[in-house]
Amino acid sequence: MAIGDLALGHEQSKSAVADADRRVVNDFSIQVATVNGSGSQSANSVLLRSIFGMGVPVSGKNLFPSNIAGLPTWYTIRASKDGYVARRKANDIVVAINPETAKDDILALPAGGVAVYDESMNLKQYRDDVACYPVPFDKITAAICPEAKLRKLVRNMVYVGVVARLLNIEMSSVEAALKKQFAKKQKAMELNFGAVKAGVDYFNEKLTKHDPYFIEPMNATKGKIIIDGNAACGLGAVFAGVTVVAWYPITPSTSVIEATIEYLKKLRVTEEGKATFAVIQSEDELAAIGMVLGAGWAGARSMTATSGPGISLMAEFSGLGYFAEIPGVIFDVQRSGPSTGMPTRTSQADLLSVAFLSHGDTRHVILLPGSVKECFDFGYKAFDLAERLQTPVFVLSDLDLGMNNWMSDPFVYPSTPHDRGKILTAEDLHRLGSFGRYEDVDGDGIGYRTLPGTDHPKAAYFTRGSGHNAKAGYTEKPEEYVEVMDRLVRKWETARTLVPEPVVVRNGYSKVGILAYGTSDFAIQESLDELKKGYDAEPDYLRIRAYPFSTAIHDFVASHERIYVVEQDRDAQLASLLKLDLAAEQVAKLRSILHYNGLPLDAETVTAELVAGEGL
Amino acid sequence: MATATLPPKNSPGPKVNRLGLPILEYRGGKSTLCAGCGHNAISERIVDALFEMGVQPERVMKLSGIGCSSKSPAYFLNRAHSFNSVHGRMASVATGAVLANHTMKALGVSGDGDTASIGMGQFVHLMRRNLPMIYIIEDNGVYGLTKGQFSATADYGSKLKTGVINDLPAIDTCSLAIQLGATFVGRSFSGDKKQLLSMLKAAIAHKGTVMLDVISPCVTFNDHEGSTKSYKFMQEKDEPINEIGFVPSFEEIDVEYDHGTTLDVTMHDGSSLRLRKLLEDYDPTDKVLAVKTLMQSHENNEVLTGVFYVNTEMPTFIDLLNLVDSPLGTLDQLQTKPAREVLDRMNASLQ
């Protein structure tokens, strides 16, 4: 199947063959259909950066199978003069390189779309309402690349050339993108640029443009950076001074750690060549979080990154972290579940299980980044919060945010010093005489801790997941147990005041409000414009950025008549979590817009559901 | 054997060690285990060893899993931080703690269920990393807190109180540890004061992973006729392969020994481990022979004890990580937070 959830047949409209006057500039989607393992990633990245280089806002999404090589994969590039970065349901241009899916790929195009394909596939037979550009890729490649084993890779750059010419992308921009991609590899650069030029030449000699799609220069990307969410999380962690990283590989979180390792090696080695960090690939996720907690207990800033199945395995230790009050940071890059689910598809369906991960009365602090910039900011802040609150802090990202490239404003240096929380030193103990590890001295529910190795005979305490009292002694006494459990609730209320406040995108315009978090934001931002233009509707919108929920979220619900909770899971997990928090009379206001097919949320879905719900 | 104690200065007070600390400072809380439990004897030997080696109590981290054995860190060395974690997962917690502070001595206490059943996954990986720590299995072959089920170290043919016979082979944690990369591996018996104390002192001097399987009879559920982990069985079947002598680095080596019958191993801290052969041709630096000897002992229904394997050359996991000297956990942000210009550079490279 083609990855688009609209399979438009050509019977839909035969009259829509591009009318000569129609001109679509900087506002369309290109889908490149290839076979995974064929090295198309760098070609797609060059295409994306070429458009970026033209100053046009752009986003890219890789829709790939859980497979090393041989299965179909799609890369979608959206150029949007208005800066929309959400997935679009339908694509305007397809580059059909994979013979296996080519027929479906061209059938999925809307009337008036564009198809670039290998001429041997003769796709024109399926659509007479699509502008077709057949290209003899093998012949062109063979002519410019004498080395047979390189042809598979170079062939991809030929379509970059064809598409660049087709859309009027300037060659200087393609060249700059190639330089970025091949950094210091001069030979590869030359070979690939040759392939691009061969694609352009072929177009000039044999093809005539007969479609309305153009890229024209803008000035909307100046100063912007391009990065994926996982790398941004890793960079945030490195600036947060992470010292112990324990992990087990799992899609789609693996690149959080790979990026972290790369940055650590670059930025955190002393002049003497010694590492100020330790990275350990553990035997499984149980061990990864065990190491994170062991390190956090002994004073390190520690982290792991995982996804759904790993989160399930971390359940028992997460409860220990909560109850024994040990800092640690866990990045969960969500993918579709349940069970193995669809490992290379996106989702927001871990929210509830993470919020209460483990048995007993357990609750966890969760940060919910909604952009690569927030991946960086929260990747940093999570460590401060974990140590301030002495508890595991989860950062919930998703595959869409984590593994795709996004345009962003440059990251801002976190100027506040690292907050190491309440730690007593030997000098403190000389002054105090002794301390009770779980005593609520300050009334904020957070006790003082000491680190192993503190040079004072009264520094030590006994850490345990079993019942303990304020002095960290073992207990089964009802009142002592309750004292600790109630103090943890006080700490939860402190957390509510420390986590990132929600972003109020719009408030006070409407009786209707939208609540959402994370990557749903991209689609909602676009949907808000659609609603205004198409329906003269202006719902308010608040984007949640953390759990526990700030009182601002309660206020937002209270000040609206109907609240649409938009989320990317089947079971309305965010709405459920809100219902636990809200007063009874507020709960009835919530209704859900749910999206859970593994593809990123699109604006059309949000708009359609809101329109239906409101009877617009 | 000489100990590390010094006569107290000008007073007939309690005996103190080289740090001037009396043994009281190495003790823990009152044990809540059964009277006669082997684990209590092991706790006492740990106290003796740390006292005699003159280890600063605050420089030790105690770690454990869940079970009777894992409770015992509460019964020794109150002045050290302790972490009683979750069942079968002490190894990972210890690993994290050692990475955060490699300047401290990590002492893990586990049981046979905690290690060889639920904890096997983490145990084997700890061994292969040669992480600097002492890992003690207090091994009684049964689950005590849940009232006497077999564990995975119960010997084939051993009988429960209820009459149930174990019909599965035992997991030999020592041969596993040797195969996988632990660099100091031994077995002892909680009832053998002298052997266990010497072994523990040598363990403290060793730099890599020390794995000690200490047979520790469960007086309530596994000390009856037909048990292969009872006091009586051990008294009859315990076959030491070597006699262990230990001379700490801070003592003069003045005892002559026979080079033909005794192997002298210089430990990392300069102390001497002297192993007098009791089993003919046994060489505790030969990994293959060690595993072979252990496998043979199972065939012969013997319980071998002693230091089976020692290797002071292997780099530890900490060596491989090339860490800074200070503990990672106490580095300040001057060392861990890259400067503003670094982020500016990163931003520029992402444009």
Q: For B134-184, what is each residue's pLDDT tens digit?
A: 999 999 999 999 999 999 999 999 999 999 999 999 999 999 999 999 999
Q: What is the pLDDT of residue A507?
A: 86
Of B80, B329, B350, the CB nearest to A299: B329
Q: What is the pLDDT of residue A6?
A: 43
CB contact under 8 A, A453 and B57: no
Q: Name chain A contacts of B108, Cβ cutoff 8 Å.
A: none
What's the CA gap between A449 and A133, in Å, rounded? 68
SS3 sequence, A279-327? EEECCCHHHHHHHHHHHHHCCCCEEEEECHHHHHHCHHHHHHHHHHCCC
CB contact under 8 A, A296 and B100: yes
Of B59, B83, B333, the CB nearest to A418: B333
User: Packing angle between helix A603-614 and helix A520-535, nearest 10 degrees?
Assistant: 50
pLDDT bucket at B9, cuts 50 / 70 / 90: low
Q: What is the pLDDT of residue B10?
A: 60
Instruction: Work out the percent of chain A whose per-residue pLDDT is above 90.
Output: 91
CB contact under 8 A, B125 and A455: no
A460-482 b/e with 16+ CB inside 10 Å = b? bbbbbbebbbbebbbbeeeebee
Q: What is the pLDDT of residues A66-94, one digit of tens each?
A: 888 888 999 999 999 999 999 999 999 99
Q: What is the pLDDT of residues B78-117, one digit of tens each?
A: 999 999 999 999 999 999 999 999 999 999 999 999 999 9
DSSP-based three-state secondary structure for B115? helix
Q: What is the pLDDT of residues A293-348, one digit of tens each?
A: 999 999 999 999 999 999 999 999 999 999 999 999 999 999 999 999 999 999 99
Domains of chain A: 10-214 (3.40.920.10), 227-408 (3.40.50.970), 426-498 (no CATH), 503-614 (3.40.50.920)
Of B74, B99, B324, the CB nearest to A274: B324
DSSP-based three-state secondary structure for B291? helix
CA distance A473 to chain B (A): 10
DSSP-based three-state secondary structure for A341? coil
Q: Which of A52, A239, A424, A430 best probes binding to B when mutated, by most B CB atoms within 10 angstroms?
A: A239
Contact A74, A41 (CB under 8 A): no
Overall pTM surpassing 0.90 (yes/no): yes
- Its domain, for residue B245, covers 23-349
Pull the structure tokens for residue A154. Answer: 């170079």
Counting Cβ atoms within 10 Å, is residue B333 exposed (0-12), middle (13-18) or buried (19+)? middle
Average pLDDT, chain A: 95
Total count of domains within chain B:
1
Pull the structure tokens for residue B278. Answer: 């009791």
Instruction: Work out the percent of chain B whose per-residue pLDDT is above 70.
Output: 96
Lowest mean pLDDT among A11-20, B20-29, B292-301: A11-20
Of A227, A456, A464, the CB nearest to B350: A227
pLDDT bucket at B6, cuts 50 / 70 / 90: low
Q: Where are the beta strands (DSSP E) in A36-130?
A: 58-63, 72-80, 93-96, 114-118
Of B63, B79, B337, the CB nearest to A457: B79
What's the CA gap between B56 and A453, in Å, rounded? 10
What's the CA gap between A555 and A577, in Å, rounded? 16
Q: Name chain A contacts of B83, Cβ cutoff 8 Å.
A: 294, 297, 463-464
CB atoms within 10 A of CB A542: 24
pLDDT bucket at A39, cuts 50 / 70 / 90: confident
Average pLDDT, chain B: 94
Q: What is the pLDDT of residue A153?
A: 86
Residue B141 within any structural domain of the chain: yes
Residue B33 within any structural domain of the chain: yes
Amino acid letter for position B252: E
Q: What average pLDDT does this structure show over B275-283?
A: 91
Q: Does residue A22 carry a pLDDT above 90?
A: no
Q: What average pLDDT does this structure show over A440-454?
A: 98
CB contact under 8 A, B95 and A418: no
Could you give the angle at the alpha carbon of B88 between the alpha carbons of B83 and B89, nearest 5°? 55
Q: Which of A48, A173, A184, A244 best probes binding to B when mutated, by most B CB atoms within 10 angstroms?
A: A244
CA distance A275 to chain B (A): 5
Closest listed residue to residue A20, CA positions, set A117, A110, A131, A166: A131
What's the CA gap between A360 and B82, in Å, rounded? 23
Residue B105 within any structural domain of the chain: yes
Q: What is the pLDDT of residue A364?
A: 98
Question: Which residues neighbour A566 within 8 Å (Cβ) at sequence distance 6 or greater?
Answer: A514, A515, A516, A520, A523, A524, A592, A593, A595, A601, A606
Residue B17 within any structural domain of the chain: no
CATH code assigned at B28? 3.40.50.970
Instruction: Work out the percent of chain B whose per-residue pLDDT is above 90.
Output: 90
Using CA atoms in the order B129, B135, B141, B142, what is the torsion angle rounded to 10 degrees?
-110
Q: What is the pLDDT of residues A510-537, one digit of tens each?
A: 999 999 999 999 999 999 999 999 999 9
Residue B185 within any structural domain of the chain: yes
Q: What is the pLDDT of residue B260?
A: 84
- What ipTM was reported for this prediction? 0.96
Lowest mean pLDDT among A405-414, B45-54, B196-205, B277-286: B277-286
Residue B4 within any structural domain of the chain: no
Q: What average pLDDT does this structure show over B59-73?
A: 97
Residue B320 within any structural domain of the chain: yes
Q: What is the pLDDT of residues A364-405, one digit of tens each?
A: 999 999 999 999 999 999 999 999 999 999 999 999 999 999
pLDDT bucket at B12, cuts 50 / 70 / 90: low
Residue B234 within any structural domain of the chain: yes
Q: What is the pLDDT of residue A208?
A: 97
Q: Is the dihedral of CA A571, A575, A581, A584 positive or negative?
A: negative
Q: What is the pLDDT of residue A172?
A: 97
